[in-house]
Amino acid sequence: MASTRYLALLRGINVGGKNPVPMAALREVFEAAGHAEVSTYIQSGNVLFRSPRTGPVLEQEIEASLQERFGVPLVVVVRSLRQLRTVVEKAPPGFGTRPDLFHSDAIFLRSPLTPAQAMTVVRGREGVDEAWAANGVLYFQRLSAERTKSRMGQIIGTPEYKLMTIRSWKTTTKLLELMQA
């Protein structure tokens, strides 16, 4: 059976000592579930793997496996290689190309959250923040020199935030590079 290359983005692990998950144990969970070519990238919950199953089913299965193993409910966003390539290729013009000037992030959305719904809680501050919506992702950038004035932190605690996971643009492009290797 043919398999597809996927990326699982786990929300809220190994952040500030909360929900500690060792990467070796994370890989074991994926391998025990029958996924192949499992690898992780940095400690923030990025798992690359192959599977013959599809995205929405994978999210539910992975979440159940992780809760069983670690005893904590975790939100998982799964993207195929094709989907992640589209996220990078369809970024707004110039997005992420000026790390000296802007902090740039990809905010990945978990169904049923839509980009339109997510944009209702991602409010930028004029002259500091900018956000763009696309299919399954928001692009968010803030002026580095003014980042303490950013409204990015205001999304935390909203119901919508529970269906989002954020990666820096540098991490996002590195994940694509790793998936394509």
Q: How many helices (H) and strands (E) does the chain have?
A: 5, 8
Predicted local confidence at residue 18, as pLDDT: 76
Report the 3 state secondary structure along 11-44.
CCCCECCECCCCHHHHHHHHHHCCCEEEEEECCC
pLDDT digits (tens, 9 = 90+) for 50-83: 999 886 789 999 999 999 999 988 999 999 999 9
Give, to the nearest 10 degrees, the angle between helix 81-89 and helix 169-180: 140
* pTM of this prediction exceeds 0.85: yes
Tokens of 168: 């820096």
pLDDT surpasses 80 at 26: yes
151: pLDDT confidence band, cut at 50, 70 and 90?
confident
What's the chain's average pLDDT? Answer: 92
* Mean local confidence (pLDDT), 111-134: 93
Predicted local confidence at residue 53, as pLDDT: 87
Q: What proportion of the chain, given as a percentage, has pLDDT over 90?
A: 76
